[in-house]
Amino acid sequence: MTTDQSTATPPSGRARLQAFGGFLTAMVIPNMGAFIAWGLITALFIPDGWIPNESLSTLVDPLIKYMLPLLLAYSGGHLVHGQRGGVAGVIGTIGLVVGSDIPMFLGAMIMGPLSAWIIKKWDGIIQPRIRPGFEMVVNNFGLGIIGFVLCIVSFKFIGPVIESLNSGLTWVINALVNTGILPLVAILNEPAKVLFLNNVIDQGIYYPLGMQAAQTAGKSIFFVLASNPGPGLGLLIAYWLFSGNKIMKETAPGAMIIHFLGGIHEIYFPYVLAKPITLLGMIAGAASGIATAQLFDAGLVAGPSPGSIFAYLMLTPRGSHLGILADVVVATTVSFLVNAALLRASARKDAAIGDAEFEQARARSAAMKQEGKSILAAATVGGAPVATRAISKVIFACDAGMGSSTMGASLFRKRLDEAGISVEVGNTSIERVPGDADVIVTHKNLAERAANANPGVEIVSIENYLSDTHIDDLYSRIESQQEANK
C-alpha cells in the first residue's frame, strides 16, 4: 500500500525537529562506545580518579580534542554522503579542532554534515560530466581540493564563530547552574522527552557541554539533566499501585524493568501520553533530582546511553556515587508521590472505562497529536484499509534504532517463532529502514516522520510496545497469510 506524495501534507515543524534529533542521534549513538571509553579513562586515571596514573592520564586530552570530534564528523558526513562525505567531514572539521582550545563537539556536528553536503552537491554536478577513464582522478582531486578549502576556511573563519556560539551557550547554562535555578530545565526536558525531542536536547546541547566540563572537572551534571531514570520509574510504580485501568496496571511492572535496568525510556512515554497531567509528577521528580545532584556536586564522566541505572553507576566518578544515587532516589520518590496522588484521584473514572474506550481516550488525550493524517491514510493499520500484498519483512523503527525498536522487534520475533511463522523481523532508526521492508512498526508520535522518510511503505502506528491492538492486528494478518500459503 503506497502513499500519494502529490497530495501528502508537508512535514510539520515537530516532525522536522524529530528528524533533526534523529540525525543527531545517528551521529552520536554509533560512537557512544568511544565516549564511554574516554569517560572510563578519565574516571580512572586523572589525578582525582580511582587509580591515578600520570602516564595514562595524558590520553584524556588528545582523545577528547581529536578522536571524539573527528568520529562525530565522520559519522555525520557519512550519513549525508557515504564514505566520501565522511572523509570530507573529517577534513573540514580538523581545521576547527586545530584552531580551537576547546573540544569542538558542536563544531563537528555542524561542519561534518556541512562538508559532506558540499561534496555531495559537487559530485551531483561534476560526475555526470566526467569522461570515461578519468573518474578516479576527478573524484580524488575534487575531494582533495574542496577539502583543502574547507579546512582553511574552518580554521580561519568558521572555527572562531562556532567557538563564540559555544562560549555563549556555555555561559547561559553555567549561569543557570550558578544561580541555582538549573532544576527549572526539567520544565523543558520532560515534555520534550514524550514528544520524542529529547535527542535534540541531549545530543545537541547537554552532551557537548558535558564533555567540555568533564575535561577539566572529571564529571558534569549536564549528563544527568535529561537522562535520569528516576522520574520514569516513579511514574511506573504509581501506575502499578494506583492505576484504575487494568491494562496500564498489569504492564507497568514489565515496563519498570525495561526502563530502569534496560535504559529504554521510551517505554514509559505512552503512560504519560495516556494521562498528560502526569507530566506534573515527571517535572517535579526531575527537578528534585537535579537539585539533589547540585546539592551533592554530583555528575557523570560521560553521557549514559542507554539511560540505565547500570550505565549511571559505571560512569560515576569517585566521590559522586552517594550524590548520583540520591539524585535517582529523590527523583523516583517525588515522581511517585505526585503521580500516585494524581492517579488515585482518577482511579474510579479510569476503572469504569473499558479497554476499547480507554485506547480511544488515551489517543485523544495524548500531548502530541499526530499531524499529516493524509500522509498515513493509506498506510496505517487501525482505521485505514489494510495492504493486501504479502508481508515478508517487518521493521520496528524508533529514533535511534537501539531502544524501544529493539525491544518491540524482539517480542514480535519471539511471538512469530513460537507460532512457527517465518517472517523476517528487524529494527533500525527511522531514517535507515531497509528498502525491502514491507511494514514499518513505530510509535504514533513518530509515524509522520516514518512516512516522510520511507514513502510508499506501510506504517503500523502503535502506542505501547508491550501491549497494542495494532501489533495484534499485524500478527493476525501475518498468521492468516501463513495459513493461506499452506
Task: Kindly report, residue by residue over 105-128, the tens digit of the pLDDT.
Answer: 888 888 999 999 999 999 889 888
C-alpha grid cell for residue 463?
502506542
CA distance 175 to 171: 6
Grade residue 2 by pLDDT with cuts at 50, 70 and 90.
Answer: very low
Q: What is the pLDDT of residue 349?
A: 63
pTM, full prediction: 0.64
Element (H, E) at 151: helix 135-153
Q: What is the pLDDT of residue 10?
A: 57
* 39-43, 260-264, 325-329, range with greatest mean pLDDT: 325-329
Domains in the chain, please, with CATH?
53-179 (no CATH), 214-378 (no CATH), 393-485 (3.40.50.2300)
Q: What is the pLDDT of residue 271?
A: 84
Q: What is the pLDDT of residue 90?
A: 95
Q: What is the pLDDT of residue 361?
A: 39
Is the pLDDT at 89 greater than 90? The verdict is yes
CA distance 27 to 38: 17
CA distance 181 to 186: 10
Residue type, 136: M
Is the pLDDT at 382 greater than 60? The verdict is no
Q: What is the pLDDT of residue 285?
A: 95
Tens of pLDDT, residue by residue over 458-483, are 999 887 776 688 888 898 888 888 77
Q: What is the pLDDT of residue 229?
A: 93
Q: What is the pLDDT of residue 376?
A: 32
Q: What is the mean pLDDT of residues 238-255?
A: 85
Q: What is the pLDDT of residue 371?
A: 39
Sheet holding 393-398, edge to edge: 424-429, 393-398, 439-443, 458-462
Tens of pLDDT, residue by residue over 151-198, are 999 999 988 888 887 777 777 777 777 777 889 889 988 888 877 666
Q: What is the pLDDT of residue 8?
A: 47
* Active-site residue, 398 included: yes
Q: What is the pLDDT of residue 469?
A: 83
Active-site residue among 264, 398, 441, 453? 398
Q: What is the mean pLDDT of residues 233-252?
A: 87
Q: What is the pLDDT of residue 381?
A: 37
Q: What is the pLDDT of residue 203?
A: 67
Q: What is the pLDDT of residue 431?
A: 77
CA distance 87 to 73: 9
> 79 near 401, Cβ under 8 Å?
no
Percent with pLDDT over 90 in the chain: 26
Grade residue 286 by pLDDT with cuts at 50, 70 and 90.
Answer: very high
Q: What is the pLDDT of residue 122?
A: 93
CA distance 143 to 145: 6
Lowest mean pLDDT among 15-19, 269-273, 331-335, 427-431: 15-19
Is the pLDDT at 322 greater than 60? The verdict is yes
Grade residue 57 by pLDDT with cuts at 50, 70 and 90.
Answer: confident
Q: What is the mean pLDDT of residues 248-260?
A: 86
Residue carrying the nine cell digits 510496545: 465
C-alpha grid cell for residue 365?
488525550
The average confidence (pLDDT) of the chain is: 80
CA distance 86 to 70: 10
Percent with pLDDT over 70 in the chain: 83
Tens of pLDDT, residue by residue over 346-377, are 766 665 544 544 454 344 434 343 333 333 33
Is the pLDDT at 304 greater than 90? The verdict is no
Between 319 and 172, the more confident residue is 319
425 three-class SS: strand
Element (H, E) at 80: helix 68-98
How many other C-beta atoms can be found within 10 angstroms of the C-beta atom of residue 144? 12
